[in-house]
């Protein structure tokens, strides 16, 4: 099995059933196949969600509660967590749920966690960029990652909190400071960009969305989001104007939701779905499943940016192999050039925040 082919067959979840398609068998968020049944109950995976009472945290916790790969779901927030945990604990699925509230309960929440997903923070309002969230969310991510370095230094960390282009460098710097940094275990969850690309492109072409896969590279805001339509599965092409319109829509899809919600929040349900998809792939890889590929914003040597999203092959210890950016067409090369100054500035901003705090 050639790794080259895996790039064009990014792991996709199917909402109906798990169909084993050889190399990139797709995880379902809702059902686990008999192929996984054999080892899933030997997996005693504790997953912690930090920010579990929020707009993303609650639906994410609900989706994770449906996973038979998780034995304990540990929920943390600064308010309402006992209620969220009580509510979820009534659901007839495998994970045991615990609720933890306030910084003094972080130790219990995190101790023994193998995977930590962090959606904590404030959402965007109309007119705000992801960068406008920086001041509030930067310190939240810094403090939660500090707790992770103390109580679960070997856990896989999935950062959902925006601006991801800056919060992932913040997480990394905190782990470095505490001398427990492993670049293969810290992920910026950019899965939503892939999910949106698949959805919009399937709609535009009238295709079955479960068969469409579009890798998305770069970062996780505006021009730094680079959908590689030229590398889509199945192969497809668009007139230049249409390609440009689709690209811009994918780049601004978050704003589309922020404006449609008119002050009531940002993309919470689609983000929860995407984060659950990413977490499911990661858990399956930890459990020994092969060929689990997701795009994620990780420490990278692919470009001049220290962090860069590309498809990565997931393994028992996090990133097993970075599958790179592949062959770009001229239009995509130009998108990459446009993205780079902003991406570099975002990364620098995150690193500086930790150095100065």
Cα–Cα dist 184/140, whole Å: 22
Helix/strand/coil for 306: coil
Residue listed under structure tokens 């499911």:
280
Cα–Cα dist 346/297, whole Å: 13
Locate 7 and state its tokens. Answer: 């790039």
Locate 72 and state its tokens. Answer: 């304990």
Cα–Cα dist 137/121, whole Å: 5
**Within a 10 A sphere around the Cβ of 183, how many other Cβ atoms?**
15
Locate 52 and state its tokens. Answer: 């579990």
Annotated active-site residue 220? The verdict is yes
Q: Output Rg (C-alpha) for the chain, integer angstroms.
A: 19
Locate 219 and state its tokens. Answer: 């970062």
* Strand partners of residue 208: none
Task: DSSP for 157-213, please give it.
Answer: EEE-SS-HHHHHHHHHHHHHHTT---GGGEEE--HHHHHHHHHHHHHHHT--GGG-B
Whats the size of the chain, residue-wise?
357
Q: Where are the beta strands (DSSP E) in the chain?
A: 45-50, 70-77, 96-101, 115-118, 156-159, 186-188, 216-218, 225-227, 292-299, 307-315, 318-322
Task: DSSP for 229-263, please give it.
Answer: GGG-BS-----HHHHHHHHHHHHTHHHHHHHHTTT
Residue listed under structure tokens 């615990």:
98
Alpha-carbon dihedral 330, 303, 168, 209, rounded to 10 degrees: 30
Q: Catalytic positions, please?
A: 220
């Amino acid at each position: 099995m050639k790794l080259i082919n895996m790039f064009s067959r990014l792991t996709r979840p199917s909402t109906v059933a798990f169909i084993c398609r050889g190399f990139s068998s797709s995880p379902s968020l809702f059902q686990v196949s008999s192929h996984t049944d054999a080892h899933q109950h030997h997996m005693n995976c504790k997953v912690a969600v930090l920010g579990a009472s929020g707009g993303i945290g609650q639906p994410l916790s609900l989706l994770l509660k449906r996973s038979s790969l998780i034995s304990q779901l540990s929920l943390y927030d600064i308010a309402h967590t006992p209620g969220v945990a009580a509510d979820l604990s009534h659901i007839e699925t495998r994970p045991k749920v615990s609720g933890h509230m306030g910084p003094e309960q972080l130790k219990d929440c995190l101790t023994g966690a193998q995977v930590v997903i962090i959606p904590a923070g404030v959402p965007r309002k109309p007119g705000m960029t992801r960068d406008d969230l920086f001041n509030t969310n930067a310190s939240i991510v810094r403090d939660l990652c500090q707790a992770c370095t103390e109580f679960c230094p070997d856990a896989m960390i999935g950062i959902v909190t925006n601006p991801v282009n800056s919060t992932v460098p913040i997480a990394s710097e905190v782990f470095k400071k505490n001398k427990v940094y492993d670049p293969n275990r810290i992920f910026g969850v950019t899965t939503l960009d892939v999910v949106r690309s698949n959805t919009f492109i399937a709609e535009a072409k009238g295709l079955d969305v479960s068969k469409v896969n579009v890798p998305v590279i770069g970062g996780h805001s505006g021009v730094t989001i680079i959908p590689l339509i030229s590398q889509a599965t199945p192969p497809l092409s668009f007139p230049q104007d249409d390609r440009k319109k689709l690209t811009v829509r994918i780049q601004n899809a978050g704003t589309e939701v922020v404006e449609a919600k008119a002050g009531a929040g940002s993309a919470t349900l689609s983000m929860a779905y995407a984060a659950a998809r990413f977490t499911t792939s990661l858990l399956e890889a930890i459990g020994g499943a092969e060929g689990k590929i997701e795009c994620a914003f990780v420490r990278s040597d692919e470009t001049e940016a220290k962090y860069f999203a590309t498809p990565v092959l997931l393994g028992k210890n996090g990133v097993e192999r970075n599958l790179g950016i592949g062959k770009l067409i001229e239009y995509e090369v130009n998108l990459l050039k446009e993205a780079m100054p902003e991406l570099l500035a975002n990364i620098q901003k995150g690193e500086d925040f930790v150095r100065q705090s």
